[in-house]
Each structure stands twice: as C-alpha cells, then as structure tokens.
Amino acid sequence: MVAHLDLERAGAGRRAPMDVAPGVAGEVATDAGHQNRVGLDVAAHRELALEAVEGRLIDIANDRDDHNRTDIHHWQDKNPVVCEALVQLMMGGPTNIYHGGLMYTALRYFFEEGGETRPGLPEGVGALVKKVSKEEIRVAFHNVSGEARAFALQGGCFGEHEIIRAGALRGNGTVETAVEVGGKSLAVELGAGCGIELSLATRRFASKPSYLPPNAGQGIVPERIVPRERED
C-alpha cells in the first residue's frame, strides 16, 4: 500500500459501515488460530473500506442536492477519504472515532520534505504492521519509487513507547543485524525498489506522550498531552 498519512482525517460519517474491532482484536490475539481469524477479519475490513470508497464516489457523481441547504453530514457521508484500514494496517492500531479522540497505535512515521517535518511516509513507501505484542512489533516496509527514501519510525502515536532494539527479519523468522536504539524513534533509509521487515523490541508506555516529532530541537520543551478541564 502506497499512501501518505499526513492528510487530515475527515469524519467517516455517522452511518459509515466502519468498525475498529478487527484492529483491536489483532492487538490482543494470543494463539495462532485466533490470529488467523483476526487476519481474515482485517482482510474483510479492508474490502469493506474499498467498497465504501467506491460507493461514496458514486454518491458524489449522482449528487443533485441543493448544497445551500445541506449540513456537514451531507459531506461526511460522501467523503471518499477512508483512513480506518490504512491506520490499522500501517500503524498497528484502531483509528480514533469520528468525533475526535487520540489514536493509540503501535507506530507512527515522519519524513522530511522542503525543510519541514511531515507526518506520514514519503511518496512510494508503504508499511504493513504484521505483529503487535507487549514486547515486540513486527513491521514491513517497501520502497517502490526509483529513489532512496528516508523516514523516522516512532514508537506509539505520541512517542509513548520506547524502542529498545531493532533487527532485520530473515525469511525463516530469525532476527539479524540487531541494533540498540534505547529511544522513542528509529531512522530508516530504504534504497530504490528495496524492502525490509523489522522486529522492534519495545517497552510500552515508557515515555510521556508528546506532539513533538522525533527530530525536535533539544531546547524545545515537549508539550504534554493532558485532559481538558471541565467548563462549568
């Protein structure tokens, strides 16, 4: 899958047939049989997402409503940007619900473009999270572009998970060339047409969550994520 994840997620709509259960079940799967069933559920969820995109494009083409009289849900129900499946497969966790909230994903990505740090993956790079457990994340990357691509891989959507070490996986499942990381992020560079599968040894919720990207300056005080105060 090749996509940027730096697009703002527009609301899926109140009646959108999307469900985060397959992603949640995938994170808590323990036995092989259950994991296989979850894999099938996620595949079905992906097909559902593709059907939703196709259906909404048809709705847009056939839209004859008076847009001076429609409300925001008219556009939400027809929005063809469906990110739920991408979030589950590329970041390893369920997306936030349609009216907001934080995403509790296994990974998040950043890349440099035009001197700025942007969330997501560079053009031509795809990711697939294959395993999420208490102590390990397995993720595969492929660069289908004609140029080398570099990006940062972060533990947790807000850097809350520590990546202890990272190693490349062989076809037989053994880990080779492991490197010590000891931080919330890891720099990755893929050559043109190359791919790699990584095994990440992790320590969950080892750091305070922050909105700052991995390469933020040392002098910047990270902004903590705190609950809103109740307004009476």
Q: What is the pLDDT of residue 215?
A: 76
| Euclidean distance between CA atoms 224 and 78, whole angstroms | 35
Mean per-residue pLDDT over the chain, rounded: 79
| Euclidean distance between CA atoms 23 and 41, whole angstroms | 9
Q: What is the pLDDT of residue 47?
A: 77
Low-confidence ranges of the chain (pLDDT < 50): 1-20, 22-31, 34-38
Provide the H-helix boundaries in 29-116.
Answer: 32-61, 72-78, 84-91
Q: Say which residue the tokens 């950043």 belong to.
A: 110
| Euclidean distance between CA atoms 17 and 52, whole angstroms | 8
- At residue 91, what are phi and psi to the nearest 5 degrees? -115, -10
| Euclidean distance between CA atoms 126 and 193, whole angstroms | 11
Tell me the per-residue pLDDT of 203-218, one tens digit each, with 9 for 90 and over: 999 998 988 888 775 5
| Euclidean distance between CA atoms 18 and 9, whole angstroms | 14
**pTM for the full model?**
0.70
Q: What is the pLDDT of residue 173?
A: 77
Say if residues 163 and 202 touch (Cβ distance below 8 Å).
Answer: yes
Token digits for 72? 């925001």
